[in-house]
Amino acid sequence: MVSKTKKRGKKPIAKSEPTVNKQAKTVEKKQEPKIKATNKTDKTMPWKIMTGILAILLIAVIAMPGNEDTNSNALDETTAKELAETFIESSLLGPEVELDIESIEENNGLYALNLTVTSNGQSQKATSYLSLDGKMFFVQGMNIDEVEAKTQDTTETTETATTTEYPKADKPTLEVYTMSFCPYGQLANKLAAPVAKLISDVANIEPHWVVYPTDYYKGQEDKYCVGDFCSMHGKYEVEENVRQMCVWENNPDKYWDYTLYIAANCNKANLDTCWKDAAESVSVSVSTIETCATNEGLTLLAAEKELNDKNGIRGSEHLRLNDMQLSMSDYRWSSEKLKTLICNSFNDAPEICDKTIDGAAITGATTGSC
């Protein structure tokens, strides 16, 4: 079985890194005086210092100084820690503020820096992130559950007015881009599975995979890549992505149950045997998947990479409806919401759309970087 999506694609979109760096430095320059002003006028609340830093870093990704080579090798932890410490102290903190980077560890393809900022005896902890090559420094620290809980009432009362209008089609197509071990990607599969089982006869519900180039992991290709194709959580994730592609190619009706088994039972430590248990649990031939992965794996990865480049895919999860990216607020985390979005995108919705997908909102781990 050959996936029709292999024929699609365009040349990869050219990167514009210098422009991003220039814009980021401009933002940094404009924001720095505000941080220092906060330190001067309110020395009793160091958390405001971190708020200022977060505001800067969440507005734009900041390019680290002295690392203009986009293909530089990954730094060791000691060098990365020293580089981050110098950058934060010289560019983001005032003279009366102390920084302590308590630990650094590799986490999902990035260095996670657990740090404490102290002013006048009061401290605020935070976690910042540094790319492995020391070039990009940024923060990801929003708790999705807490943010969504605070806005749930407002969202529900204005849902009809704020839901995005998506293109219509005689037979809508939903594309679900994930990584096999991304917690958000696994939740997206859990979200899409009941929708696919309900309306796959009248709509196209297609799984796809996030594939990164080797440039992202220069010097660590053996750890993160298979051939020219890489994934954020490591080589084992690329290999499992390929197996999932092969299940979709050969047994599409078993695909969603297979991925849900993987998410619930398998991890890096047990994957070599666990994926076979997953296949057997849904009556998929292990030998067929192994043969497909060996003979077609690189071709399948190349096709997905081409789609990634065409559609600007950069992370997991990423959902597209009739070739338009879905707004997360329109579907997270309800299968019934997702079904409704698809049904509203029909030119003439079929009767099956009148059926409700029962069950509570999809829940699970919503931490990690993907």
Q: What is the pLDDT of residues 317-337, one digit of tens each?
A: 999 999 999 999 999 999 999
Banded model confidence at residue 364, pLDDT cuts 50, 70, 90? low
Residue 56: pLDDT over 50? no
Residues 190 and 122 in one domain: no
Domain that holds residue 219: 163-354
Which residues sit opposite 193 in a β-bridge?
none
Q: Is residue 370 part of a domain?
A: no
Neighbour-count burial of 192, counting CB atoms closer than 10 A to its CB (0-12 exposed, 13-18 middle, 19+ buried)? buried
Residues 243 and 114 in one domain: no
Banded model confidence at residue 232, pLDDT cuts 50, 70, 90? very high
Residue 42: pLDDT over 70? no
End-to-end CA distance of the chain: 30
Residues 200 and 111 in one domain: no
Q: What is the pLDDT of residue 296?
A: 98
Residues 230 and 292 in one domain: yes
Residue 15: pLDDT over 90? no
Q: What is the pLDDT of residue 145?
A: 61
Can you tell me the mean pLDDT for 217-231?
A: 96
CATH of the domain at 90: 3.10.450.630
Residues 195 and 97 in one domain: no
Tens digit of each residue's pLDDT (9 = 90 or more) over 18-29: 333 443 344 344
Q: Is residue 86 part of a domain?
A: yes
Can you tell me the mean pLDDT for 199-212?
A: 97
Residues 174 and 210 in one domain: yes
Residues 39 and 177 in one domain: no
Residues 109 and 211 in one domain: no
Amino acid at 86: T
Residues 131 and 98 in one domain: yes
Amino acid at 330: D
pTM of the model: 0.59
Tens digit of each residue's pLDDT (9 = 90 or more) over 148-174: 565 555 445 444 445 689 999 999 999
Can you tell me the mean pLDDT for 197-220?
A: 96
Q: Is residue 70 part of a domain?
A: yes
Say how many domains are in the chain.
2
Q: Is residue 126 part of a domain?
A: yes
Residues 266 and 337 in one domain: yes
Give the residue from 76, 100, 71 showing the smallest Cα distance to 88.
100
